[in-house]
Every structure is written in C-alpha cells, then in structure tokens.
Amino acid sequence: MSEVSLLKQLARSLMTGQLIAASDPYRLHWHLAPTVGLLNDPNGFIQAHDRYHLFYQWNPLACRHGAKWWGHWSSVDLVHWRHEPVALLPTEEYEISGCYSGSAVLNNDKITLLYTGNVKYADGSRTANQCLAEELPDGTYQKLGPVIPLPEGYTGHVRDPKVWQHDGLWYMVLAAQTPDIKGKVLFYRSSDLQQWQLISEIAGTHLNGLKEFGYMWECPDLFHLHGHDVLLCCPQGLAAEQYSYLNLYQCGYFVGELDYQQGTFPHGEFHELDLGFEFYAPQTTETSDGRRLMFGWLGMPDDNELAQPTVKHGWVDCMTCPRELFFRDGQLYQQPAEELQQLRQGSGATWQGNASEAPLFDGVSAELLLNVDGPFSLSLRDNASLNWDGECLTLTRLNWRTNETESRYWFGKLQSLQVLLDSSSLELFINNGEACMTARYFPDPTKKSLRFEGTGALSIHHWLLSACVIE
Ligand code: FRU
C-alpha cells in the first residue's frame, strides 16, 4: 500500500481510537504503550543528539500482529517522552509484510536504522532483507533500501539486526534459521554500513557446546559489560522444565568472550533474563555516561496476548521500565534506571514490623522497597500475589483468559525486593536485581490495595508514582 493510503488509515485509527484507549482503566500511568493498536519489540534504542530515542514495533491499525511499522519516541530523561514522526511504514516491495525489528547507530551524526524488511508470499513462505534508513533534518527517516539480501543456506527467517561499532568498524548480530530448522546468530562486519561481510555463525543450536537449543533465536544483542561479552537472545522452541522455560518463548543470555577477528563467542550456560510471564525481545544501548540500559517488550506473543482486556479499548502491550544492566558475581543484574526515581511522589511512607501487621498500601501506580526477614505473602490488588516461604519466591496471578491461577518461581535467599507497579503491570527486582519477574495483570480497577500477611519481619518503603509518560 502507498505511504499516503497508510497515513490516511493511521489518521482514522488515531482519530477514532485515541480517546477510547486513553479512557481505559488499564491504561498505564508511567509505562510506554501504543497510542492505539499493538506494540511489540523495542527497536533502535540509542542516545543521540542529547536525547534517548526509542523506536518500537507497531501495528497502529489493529490489535494484532501484521505488517509492522516503526513508531518513535524520544526523551531527555527516560521518563518524560515525546512522540516523534513515525519512522518506518511498510511501503516498499522489499519490506511489504513489515518493517521488522532492528537497531540504530549514529553515523555521520545521523541516526541510522538497520531493520528487517519482511516479505511473506501467498504460499506461506517468506524472505527477508536487512535494510538501512537514515534520519533527515525534520526527524523523519529516508529509506536507503536493502543492504543484506537473504544469506544463502538459511530459511526466510533471518531478522533483527543489532549493530554496533568497534575499533572503527561496524558489527552486526542477526537472527537466522538453517534449513533443518535450527536457530543461529550470524555475525557480520562492515566498514560503511552498506557492504556487509558474513563472518560466522557465532552462536546457536549445535554451537559452542549447545545441543538442540531451539528453532529460532530472535532479537540477538551482543555487548561488552564490565569485562565480559554478553549475548542476549530469545530462543524459540525450548521445552518447559519444572521451574524454568515456562513461557511460550524464552529470553535470556550467555556470558562469553567475543573474538572479533575469528568471529567466535565461546560462552557459558543460558540464563533466563526474567522469570515472570511477559518479557521478550529486549534491546540495550550504551549511554554517554557508560551505562548499559535495556528496554524489553512487556509482552509475549502467546494465547493470552490478544485476550487482554485492553483490546476492547483498541490498544495492547507495553514496554518494560528502562533497566540498567550490571555484571556481578558471574551474572547479569537488572535494576530500574535511576531516572525512574523522579516518579516517586515525595519521600513516601515507611513501616517496619511483622508482615501480618502491615497497613494496606495503594498499589495502582506505586513502588515498594522491602527488606525481608522471614516468610510473608503479598496480595497485589486481589489479582496476583507473591509468596516467600524461605526457599522459593512464587509469583501467582489470575490468568485473564482462562480465569485460572498460574505461577512462576525463583529459588534463592530473598533479602530485598523492589516492586514497580502500574495499573496493569508489575516488575519485581529481587536482591537488587539478581533476578526479575515481570508480568501484566488486570485487577478489578476498584481494588487498589497491597495486603501483606505472614510472620516474617519486613521493612517497607512505599511511594506513589506520578503519571507522566508521553507529552
Ligand atoms: C520478536 C519478533 C521479531 C520480529 C518482530 C516482528 O517479537 O518476532 O523477531 O522482527 O517481532 O514484529
């Protein structure tokens, strides 16, 4: 479809849908969500021209997956965002089924996007082109066309270029699938972002000591952090185990050592990045002050996704809060970006004592910091709960589609817990980010309380969080 036709449809979608979406009681107060339609992966996350830029997979025309666009927000402080012109619309033959995920780099002082042009055929097959687009002075993007056609020896599932610069050259990791349906990560090099040389399969099923490890690894991201190289990726096709790999698709990381010359990445075990229900396709960037920040999609493309009650209000899915990554004790830690503290209203309320005696706290848009000594449970607005029994922290929620409860688990020694709550999302940071659990939930909007129970001693710090996301 032509750009003009798509933009006319966008105008109608926004004119009819925006107020309806904004009036949804489940509309998020301080998380980024689509004005209308469906949002999925964070794309092109970069700090450039003194602002953070976050692009996103977007179907503005319906609450379903399809031919994706790239929406674009920017912010100085990661909290107050503004809408930027829509960056990419699927108008060209080489991207006709969607401008799929990708990344941004700064080249010649211009934000430059590398993304996947996805092309689906009537017989169900597909191909993919890795494409380039460049910022124009008015904040729109000019497409420069494909720079990597489908590499030989792979199926049409090749996507999600993540590009970075190292020693004056550009490098890319790219998700790919072999004809025998094994997930791989390809490693490319370029001197100009135009001509790309495939160096190696750097990771994937049957590589680096892995056996069978999934049929596709979406959204790879490879970066250096505190002396180590870390590969984030989203393997599809891992079998669920008793307490791990419980979501439809997995999202996690390997720690290893990247050899830029050989294109090798010997690495250790796979660790899940998040033990909750909805967390997928994260992307990181390095800030000017040297922090590694990450946004994830606070979603999961499973049967629950399009059954979310927000679909009735014409929007679905959101981003996680921005998180900072740290490397400690051989593993990744995640903490909410410090900028989020701006959302805290005043100095909050503090309380200490046995959990069962704690007062009720408001949990609609709130933050809790807990120091924990002994078992307790916490009801989150009568729709989800946390239970710590001394060995396992269990997050249970009511599934909005099946109306049954379901749980996720973390085993360890719980000392502290940071809980970030929005009207229909929760993010838990265990022991300063040693583990995380992220989920959507849809409590009765009139039920606002957080209720503690149990014999454990707690010290609680509670803040209400301000609602301020998009200007
Ligand atoms: C991950 C993903 C990517 C793809 C995009 C399409 O959620 O499937 O692999 O590029 O979403 O929207």
Tens of pLDDT along the chain (471 residues)? 899 999 999 999 999 999 999 999 999 999 999 999 999 999 999 999 999 999 999 999 999 999 999 999 999 999 999 999 999 999 999 999 999 999 999 999 999 999 999 999 999 999 999 999 999 999 999 999 999 999 999 999 999 999 999 999 999 999 999 999 999 999 999 999 999 999 999 999 999 999 999 999 999 999 999 999 999 999 999 999 999 999 999 999 999 999 999 999 999 999 999 999 999 999 999 999 999 999 999 999 999 999 999 999 999 999 999 999 999 999 999 999 999 999 999 999 999 999 999 999 999 999 999 999 999 999 999 999 999 999 999 999 999 999 999 999 999 999 999 999 999 999 999 999 999 999 999 999 999 999 999 999 999 999 999 998 776
Taking Cα atoms as reference points, which of 410, 395, 408, 390 lies closest to residue 457?
A: 390
Cα end-to-end span (Å), the chain: 30
CA of 249 to the centre of ligand 1 (A): 12
Q: Which domains does the chain have, with CATH numbers?
A: 3-311 (2.115.10.20), 344-470 (2.60.120.560)
Q: Could you tell me if the CB of 281 is within 6 A of ligand 1? A: yes
Report residue 137 CA to chain centroid gap: 29
Please work out whether the CB of residue 440 comes within 6 Å of at least one atom of ligand 1: no
Contacts 24+ apart (CB under 8 A), 383-390: 383/441, 383/442, 383/443, 383/444, 383/447, 384/426, 384/439, 384/441, 384/443, 386/417, 386/419, 386/428, 388/414, 388/454, 388/456
The two structure tokens encoding residue 190: 């370029």
Which residue has the CA at smallest separation from atom 1 of ligand 1? 281
Residue type present at position 126 = R
Q: In whole angstroms, what is the distance from residue 97 CA to residue 67 CA?
A: 5
101 by Cβ neighbours in 10 Å (0-12 / 13-18 / 19+) ranks as: buried
Task: Say how many Å lie between the CA of residue 59 and the centre of ligand 1.
Answer: 12
**Ligand 1 atom with minimal separation from the 102 CA:** 10
- Interval between CA 105 and ligand 1 midpoint (Å): 19
Residue whose CA is closest, atom 9 of ligand 1? 218
The residue whose CB lies within 8 Å of the most ligand 1 atoms, and thus the one to mutate among 65, 159, 221, 249, is: 159
The bridge status of strand 366-373 relative to strand 457-464 is antiparallel
For the Cβ of 38 lying below 6 angstroms from any atom of ligand 1, the answer is no
Q: What's the CA gap between 102 and 97, in Å, rounded?
A: 15
Residue positions annotated with a catalytic role: 41
Is residue 103 in contact with ligand 1, taking CB distance under 6 Å?
A: no
Q: Which residues share a beta bridge with 115?
A: 102, 131
Residue 5 C-alpha to ligand 1 middle, in angstroms? 24
CA 457 centroid distance within chain = 34
- Give one DSSP letter per residue of 378-411, joined into a string: EEETTTEEEEE-SSEEEEEEE-TTT--EEEEEEE
